[in-house]
């Protein structure tokens, strides 16, 4: 891996700035300086869900200490805390209440609601974040206590080694995009060839079936729409947007990062077998699939119904 990443840096040096930015974005909020993030003003301690503590860390507190050098909390529900009290009572934890039922079933001591001391450190162990969406609030309103401490769940982070693996795989995908060599110095192409030779002999490629699939035949494709990706769409591919909160003409790019398995706390899905380049349209469709539970075909039919009834009649379902 070390040789591959050294070669990665040699190629990176000669990439267009837009391509460099696209690669660097894969690291934003994924590790920062240990725990701190680059873009958000958040607390420096990470929330590791109790489920992840059990399944990903095998209840080994030393693994958390090694990974999160700026600290962590184990985030658990009242039931998880109650059922595992002897295990959790001496660990840094936050017990998060999200329903009235939990409040009734597991009464808490109000004096232990999380607050900050004069040094800005958190004290207490209970937080309440109940959102009652009932219009008439017959069962009570929203309750927020101690929740200003909420930071990032640990799925936002990856080890430095894993971040470098992601970068190497994304560069390989870039190289296999249409028109890549139109933007790379001709007298430096050997750097790219050396990177490809090293990379394709490594487990980063040989043991990554998703990457093999999405770069089959030396052509990078969108994981959702499976259309060929064009390097032009990284360098010049901005889509004019609406008036944003901070910028008048907010823009998005045609090529986005895709997590083909969703980032779910406890899954640790920011890894080199799960992060790929894809189209902005593919990302939108993938989001719709996850939010609605509908298939790609069902979403496509709905779109056509809305915009082109004549075309819909030509589709054989």
Q: 130, 156, 182: which is the final residue of a domain?
A: 156
Q: Are residues 250 and 185 in the same domain?
A: yes
Q: Give residue 52's pLDDT band: very low, low, confident or very high (50, 70, 90).
A: confident
Is residue 183 assigned to a domain? yes
Is the per-residue pLDDT at 71 higher than 90?
no
Q: Give the 3-state secondary structure of residue 214.
A: helix
Q: Are residues 169 and 281 in the same domain?
A: yes
Is the per-residue pLDDT at 25 higher than 70?
yes
Q: Give residue 110's pLDDT band: very low, low, confident or very high (50, 70, 90).
A: confident
Cα separation, 234 vs 218, whole angstroms? 18
In this predicted model, which residue has the larger pLDDT, 149 or 224? 224
Q: Give residue 37's pLDDT band: very low, low, confident or very high (50, 70, 90).
A: very low
Average pLDDT over residues 199-217: 96
Range name among 23-32, 204-213, 230-239, 254-263 with the lowest pLDDT average: 23-32
pLDDT tens per residue across span 290-316: 666 666 667 666 666 665 555 445 544
Q: What are the backbone dihedrals phi and psi of residue 270, each rounded to the nearest 5 degrees, phi first? A: -85, 85
Question: What tokens appear for 297 in the block?
Answer: 């075909």
Query: Which ranges constitute the DSSP H helices of the chain?
Result: 2-12, 17-24, 50-55, 61-67, 78-83, 85-88, 100-105, 160-175, 189-200, 203-206, 209-214, 232-235, 280-292, 296-307, 309-312
Q: Are residues 18 and 113 in the same domain?
A: no
Q: 133, 156, 179: which is the final residue of a domain?
A: 156
Is residue 279 assigned to a domain? yes
Percent of the chain predicted with pLDDT > 90? 38
Is residue 38 assigned to a domain? no
Is residue 240 assigned to a domain? yes
Q: Are residues 81 and 143 in the same domain?
A: yes
Instruction: Supply the pLDDT for residue 250.
Output: 44
In this predicted model, which residue has the larger pLDDT, 299 or 185? 185
In this predicted model, which residue has the larger pLDDT, 75 or 68? 75
Q: Are residues 180 and 285 in the same domain?
A: yes
Average pLDDT over residues 38-59: 72
Q: Are residues 139 and 167 in the same domain?
A: no
Is the per-residue pLDDT at 260 higher than 50?
yes
Q: Give residue 68's pLDDT band: very low, low, confident or very high (50, 70, 90).
A: confident
Q: Which H or E run includes 149? A: none
Q: Are residues 216 and 100 in the same domain?
A: no
Counting the structural domains of the chain, the total is 2
Q: 114, 140, 156: which is the final residue of a domain?
A: 156
Q: Are residues 87 and 143 in the same domain?
A: yes
Domain range spanning residue 72?
Answer: 46-156
Is residue 86 assigned to a domain? yes
Q: Are residues 295 and 166 in the same domain?
A: yes
Q: Are residues 134 and 195 in the same domain?
A: no
Q: Are residues 168 and 232 in the same domain?
A: yes
Q: Are residues 61 and 124 in the same domain?
A: yes
In this predicted model, which residue has the larger pLDDT, 168 or 156? 168
Is the per-residue pLDDT at 35 higher than 80?
no
Is residue 259 assigned to a domain? yes
Instruction: Supply the pLDDT for residue 248.
Output: 43
pLDDT tens per residue across span 122-164: 788 998 888 766 655 566 778 888 866 555 566 666 777 888 9
pLDDT tens per residue across span 54-65: 887 889 999 888
- Give CA separation, 140 vs 109, 137, 274, in Å: 20, 5, 41
Is residue 40 assigned to a domain? no
Is residue 275 assigned to a domain? yes
Average pLDDT over residues 198-215: 96
């Amino acid at each position: 891996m070390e040789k591959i990443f050294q070669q990665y840096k040699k190629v990176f040096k000669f990439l267009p700035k837009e391509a460099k930015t696209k690669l660097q974005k894969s690291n934003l909020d994924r590790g920062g300086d240990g725990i701190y993030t680059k873009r958000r003003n958040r607390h420096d301690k990470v929330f590791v869900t109790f489920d992840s503590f059990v399944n990903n860390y095998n209840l080994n507190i030393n693994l958390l200490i090694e990974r999160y050098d700026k600290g962590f909390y184990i985030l658990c529900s009242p039931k998880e805390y109650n059922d595992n009290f002897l295990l959790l009572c001496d660990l840094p934890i936050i017990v998060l209440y999200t329903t009235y039922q939990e409040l009734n079933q597991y009464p808490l001591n109000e004096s232990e609601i999380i607050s900050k001391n004069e040094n800005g450190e958190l004290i207490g162990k209970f937080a309440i974040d109940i959102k009652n969406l009932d219009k008439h609030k017959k069962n009570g309103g929203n309750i927020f206590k101690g929740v200003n401490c909420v930071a990032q769940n640990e799925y936002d982070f990856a080890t430095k080694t894993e971040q470098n693996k992601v970068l190497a795989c994304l560069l390989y995908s870039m190289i296999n995009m249409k028109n890549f060599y139109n933007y790379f110095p001709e007298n430096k192409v050997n750097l790219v060839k050396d990177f490809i030779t090293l990379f394709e002999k490594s487990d980063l490629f040989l043991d990554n079936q998703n990457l093999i699939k999405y770069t089959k035949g030396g052509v990078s494709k969108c994981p959702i729409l499976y259309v060929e990706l064009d390097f032009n769409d990284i360098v010049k591919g901005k889509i004019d947007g609406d008036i944003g909160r901070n910028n008048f003409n907010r823009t998005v790019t045609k090529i986005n990062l895709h997590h083909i398995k969703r980032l779910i706390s406890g899954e640790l899905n920011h890894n080199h077998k799960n992060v790929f380049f894809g189209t902005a349209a593919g990302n939108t469709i993938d989001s719709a699939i996850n939010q609605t539970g509908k298939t790609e075909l069902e979403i496509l039919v709905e779109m056509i119904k809305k915009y082109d009834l004549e075309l819909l009649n030509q589709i054989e379902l």
